[in-house]
Chains A and B, each alone.
Chain A
């Protein structure tokens, strides 16, 4: 977060779970340090004019206690754009911190709230001015389409490999771009927020490469390849809707330095292999 910027902070403030209390404490911490305003989720539900105005004027920070994501869901319901987001239980797990079930704030919870608030404040301050230049990948492709009722599903005709989990990989030498297919994008509906992996992290084939959150669900980005993340599509942080616009072009997610693509390819499909699977999935599952 930018220390010179004021934010609108929306904690879940869950009263029946330990992590809910931590979100409130974090919000207070952040509000005090940045002069930001806290949005009360309960009040927001019953009267939203004031908070809608605040959220339109300032970048929004969403603090969820647990994976139920009540604050995120409220933000989605109100049509708000999320600038920053954090889930307390996930962060506690990452740091090996066990949160006691008691609803009272003990020293561990207070200190976690302080640590997470500080991490949020630092995260943005440390962000580089611009993303590193990505390797040259073609920007436009030719597509085959499959139509079902009013929905049209695109699939690039050549060069891409697909996993049965509906992610694609486009290889360029030892480097590859990864993203989701048009089918998955449409199944998720509007993408609201992404958690991208850090550059330099490694991933195994079918391992997790961050998460994508839509109004409907949180989906894991299931990596179609094994390798090291060398670039992430930073543009998605400010404009996640790029995935909905075209998940093969401006909606790519990460670039990976491949470890052994020949080995990965064993469990991937080319156009001819994936197209019938796409058709079957659309026919069986696609419900809007």
Chain B
């Protein structure tokens, strides 16, 4: 089951998930092995083999999969900008 909200904000409104640099990725799949939230999908006969299948399953502010990446192919949005955005959305929701 995916996380539905983060700090009261619908997860779908928060832009937080990994971006794969396919030019760097060497298909080692350490990130897939690590992530317990099924964010990634491995497609055996496709190119690229690794894709972000469920971005909304990604835990907001978690970048642990990137720490398993030997070739530094994973990147995430800016944390400060994301925090500001979450606070903005919370304000909007309070006003409703």
Complex interface: chain A residues within 8 A of B34 (CB): 217
The binding surface of chain A is classed by DSSP as loop
Expressed in whole angstroms, the minimum distance between the Cβ of B39 and any Cβ of chain A is: 13
Q: Mark B68-86, 1 if CB is under 8 A from A, else 0.
A: 1111100000011011001
Question: Chain B interface: which of A199-207, A227-235, A250-258?
Answer: A199-207
A68 nearest in chain B by CB position: B70
Q: How large is the interface on A (under 10, 10 to 19, 20 to 34, 35 or more residues)?
A: 20 to 34
Query: Within 8 Å CB of A219, what residues of B?
Result: 64, 67
Contact B30 A222, beta carbon cutoff 8 Å: no
In the complex, chain A residues whose CB is within 8 Å of the CB of B69: 67-68
B67 touches A67 (CB 8 A): yes
Choose one: B1, B63, B82, B90; the contact of A220 (CB below 8 Å).
B63
A67 to B67, CA, bound (A): 6
Chain B residue contacts of A222, Cβ below 8 A: 61-62
A68 partner residues in chain B, CB cutoff 8 A: 28, 30, 68-70
For residue A74, CB closer than 8 A to chain B, the reply is no
Expressed in whole angstroms, the Cα–Cα distance for A286 and B9 within the complex equals 24
Q: Which of A196-221 contact B (CB under 8 A)?
A: 204-207, 211, 217-220
Contacting residues, chain A, for B64 (C-beta < 8 A): 217-220
Complex interface residues of chain B between 16 and 62 (CB less than 8 A to chain A):
28, 30, 34, 36-37, 59-62
Residues of B within 8 A of A165 (CB): 59-62
| A222–B6 CA distance with the chains assembled, in angstroms | 15
Within the complex, what minimum Cβ distance (angstroms) separates B30 from chain A?
Answer: 6
Contacts of B60 in A (CB 8 A): 164-165
Known contacts A67-B67, A266-B90; is-contact A206 B72 (Cβ 8 Å): no
| B residues in contact with A205, CB < 8 Å | 83
Asked if B87 CB lies within 8 Å of chain A CBs, one says yes
